[in-house]
Amino acid sequence: MVLADVRWYLDGRSGRDAYDRGHIPGAVFVDLDRWLAGPASPAAGRHPLPDPATFAEGMSSVGIGDGSMVVAYDDQGGVIAARLVWMLRVTGHDAALLDGGIQSYRATLETGPPANPARAGGPVPPRPFTPPAWPADRLASIEDASDPANTVIDARAPERFSGEDEPIDPRGGHIPGARNLPCRSNLDSEGRFLPVDALRGRFERVGVGGDPGGVPMISYCGSGVTACHNLLALELAGFGQGRLYPGSWSQYSHDEARPVETGTGPERVG
């Protein structure tokens, strides 16, 4: 089992610095920008999926191999670490979130660079990790996300969804027809997932849970990271697997030809 620290911050703080100041003993640091995303651009978004070879290199370099079981955490209830868990799961690997994140670990934290748990002080040895193909049936395009026939869920905070506040992307608002299900509201006050019945209720209020043979829900956020938390919550709630729109709002909002909807209402918020 490999314990992975996937801390990352929208405000520019360094996840690696946070890791070095204190992490769960034995955890390795996984750099989201380097290994879990490709080059950013207006056409692709801030965190497009990386080339499979890049993902494989990153996993191998921190000691995650083809047969590894990965447990990932952050300090935000898993809304960032969910990206790694989702990427591993859709490519056939065993992965899970540490419910409650680093705050749930009550003992002394470890500091400094990662070390081989089997040999104190030594480096983490690389393990073979086969470059995966991203499964087309688990992904959604900008056209899919724009199609009103699809159930599209936005994981961002309500003020970003409504267009009242947009700190990073060129336009505020959301994809027309999308419903707001803020991913951080999947959690209780201690940063753990809500009970399954409560999660199911949240998804049902935004239109998920109808015909089980219908088109899978599409999840997006600012850049395709926290949207993965809604996809994991969807599975936990018993609704099966949804689709990720990797470009998310950071791609959509750059396309001036695409219409934008602002405002919100009780029928759109879970």
Is the Cα torsion angle 106, 107, 113, 116 positive or negative in sign? negative
Q: One of 44, 221, 228, 231 is an active-site residue; which one?
A: 221
Per the domain annotation, does 127 fall within a domain? Answer: no
Rounded to 5 degrees, what angle do the CA atoms 2, 94, 124 make? 20
Longest Cα separation, the chain: 56
Together in a domain, 97 and 172: no
Q: Residue 38: which CATH number?
A: 3.40.250.10
Together in a domain, 140 and 97: no
Together in a domain, 89 and 150: no
Distance CA 268, CA 259 (A): 18
Together in a domain, 94 and 156: no
**Closest-CA residue to 102 (of 71, 132, 148, 128):** 71
> Which run of H or E residues covers position 140?
none
Distance CA 48, CA 36 (A): 9
Distance CA 154, CA 174 (A): 8
* Residues recorded for the chain: 270
**CB-based contacts of 147, cutoff 8 Å, min separation 6:** none
Q: Count CB neighbours of 35 within 10 A.
A: 21
* Residue where a domain terminates, one of 80, 104, 128: 104
The CA R_g of the chain, rounded to the nearest whole Å, is: 18
Together in a domain, 98 and 140: no
Per the domain annotation, does 15 fall within a domain? Answer: yes
DSSP 23: B
Encoded amino acid at 78, one letter:
G
Distance CA 76, CA 106 (A): 16
Q: Residue 111 is encoded by which pair of tokens? A: 């500091």
Together in a domain, 144 and 74: no
User: DSSP characters for 40-95?
Assistant: -BTTTBSSPPPPHHHHHHHHHHTT--TT-EEEEE-SSTTTTTHHHHHHHHHTT-EE
Q: What domain range is 19 assigned to?
A: 2-104
Together in a domain, 155 and 246: yes
Together in a domain, 144 and 41: no
Give the model's pLDDT for residue 268. Answer: 53
* pTM for the model: 0.93
Together in a domain, 96 and 196: no
**Catalytic annotation on 183?**
no
- For residue 3, what are the β-bridge partners? 71
> To which residue do tokens 């490999």 refer?
2
What is the mean pLDDT for each group of 10 consecutive residues in the chain (270 residues)?
A: 95 93 94 97 96 96 95 97 98 97 94 61 78 95 95 96 93 95 96 96 86 72 98 94 96 96 67
> To which residue do tokens 């879990």 refer?
36
DSSP 130: P
Together in a domain, 153 and 80: no
Quote the distance between the C-alpha of residue 177 and its chain's center.
Answer: 22
Give the model's pLDDT for residue 264. Answer: 75
